[in-house]
Amino acid sequence: MTRRRRLDLSSALARGEFVPYFQPLVDLRTGQLRGCEVLARWVHPTKGLVLPDDFIPFSEETGLIGALCESVLSQAFKTCAELGAPFTLSVNISPIQFRDCSLPERISRLAEEHQFPLGQLKIEITESALLENLVDAQCIAAKLKLLGMKLSLDDFGTGYSSLAHLQALPFDELKIDKSFVSSMCCRRESMKIVAAVVGLGRSLGLTTVGEGVEEVAQADMLRHLGCEVGQGWLYGRPMPKEALTAMLGVERPALSGLVGTSSEPD
Ligand code: C2E
Ligand code: MG
Ligand code: MG
Ligand code: MG
């Protein structure tokens, strides 16, 4: 079964069935586009659109994650080049990849191929990337930063949240997990946690991003608490290249009208 699934995944990879979707990150104050997060999708010939939770863990187990990520990233760079105005791209890097000391060079070579400026690339990792071998992780992070890339701590507040992680790596950004954002308007505790995390991020000089913003009230509260950037269905769902192109064509330069952009079903 495992061999069969591995074969399925590697042949899907060879056929180019893994593609990048793009989700906007928006300045909570001005409504302007700050960049996009690249989220992998499997365009399956019979199952339709398959979400990462159904293929990332398996591709990590089978060692295909590196190739998958590079294929998706390379397509994302290509799209940016085609659009002519490269904006900041945030890309998720698995803890497995974050053990490989050649990662920074591999990413930088890929970006060079597509003339994508590394200063506009943000690497998102979760805290689990720091648990196994902190020394390697620190070395990789230092190389990424030296090459000009930014570093973001994803899903903050879940899992192994430890304040020590915030000082172990030179992060530029803190993403507050959507579980807090989605409950912050109805649970006082969640709101207080978000307020504390935003305060912590700001005092450390990090950009704070609220993930999973679905309602105007959540965006208003995040803004009120001093959070700078929002990401969520309110501003736009993850969308394929064609929808991104259309959105940029219509909405440039102010993307405050992104509200309601819908390209992925519930
Ligand atoms: P993530 O990096 O935390 O990405 C945010 C997830 O929240 C995405 O799920 C996105 O579609 C979803 N989301 C965004 N806004 C909203 C909202 O307003 N409401 C709700 N309910 N959800 C929202 P997705 O695309 O299913 O990705 C899940 C996870 O898979 C990602 O979490 C990331 O950890 C991982 N992933 C995705 N693409 C890649 C990739 O290329 N490489 C690696 N290693 N991991 C990836
Ligand atoms: Mg992410
Ligand atoms: Mg996240
Ligand atoms: Mg996540």
Determine if ligand 1 sits within 6 Å of the CB of residue 92.
Answer: yes
Residues 6+ apart with CB under 8 A from 101: 136, 139, 140, 143
> What is the rounded CA–CA span in Å between residue 30 and residue 232?
16
> What is the rounded CA–CA span in Å between residue 116 and residue 121?
8
CA of 90 relative to ligand 2 center, distance in Å: 7
Determine if ligand 1 sits within 6 Å of the CB of residue 232.
Answer: yes
Determine if ligand 1 sits within 6 Å of the CB of residue 52.
Answer: yes
Identify the nearest ligand to the CA of 177 by its number: 3
Q: Is the ipTM of this complex over 0.90?
A: yes
> What is the rounded CA–CA span in Å between residue 115 and residue 181?
36
CA of 154 relative to ligand 4 center, distance in Å: 7
Residues with CB under 5 A from ligand 2 (ion): 92, 124, 154
CA of 91 relative to ligand 2 center, distance in Å: 7
Ligand 1, atom 34: closest residue by C-alpha: 92
Please, what is the Cα angle at 260 between 256 and 263, to 5 degrees?
120
Residues 6+ apart with CB under 8 A from 178: 211, 212, 232
Atom of ligand 1 nearest to the CA of 214: 18
Residues 6+ apart with CB under 8 A from 116: 77, 80, 81, 86, 89
Determine if ligand 1 sits within 6 Å of the CB of residue 236.
Answer: no
Burial status of residue 209 (CB atoms within 10 A of its CB: 0-12, 13-18, 19 or more)? buried
CA of 74 relative to ligand 1 center, distance in Å: 18
Ligand 1, atom 15: closest residue by C-alpha: 232
Ligand 1, atom 24: closest residue by C-alpha: 52
Residue 57, preceding bond cis, omega within 30 degrees?
A: no
Determine if ligand 1 sits within 6 Å of the CB of residue 261.
Answer: no
pLDDT, residue 1, reads 61
Ligand 1, atom 35: closest residue by C-alpha: 52
Determine if ligand 1 sits within 6 Å of the CB of residue 56.
Answer: yes
Check if the beta carbon of residue 69 is closer than 8 Å to that of residue 20: no
Taking only the tens of pLDDT, the chain with its 266 residues reads 688 888 899 999 999 999 999 999 999 999 999 999 999 999 999 999 999 999 999 999 999 999 999 999 999 999 999 998 778 999 999 999 999 999 999 999 999 999 999 999 999 999 988 888 899 999 999 999 999 999 999 999 887 777 888 989 999 999 999 999 999 999 999 999 999 999 999 999 999 999 999 999 999 999 999 999 999 999 999 999 999 999 988 655 444 334 334 456 55
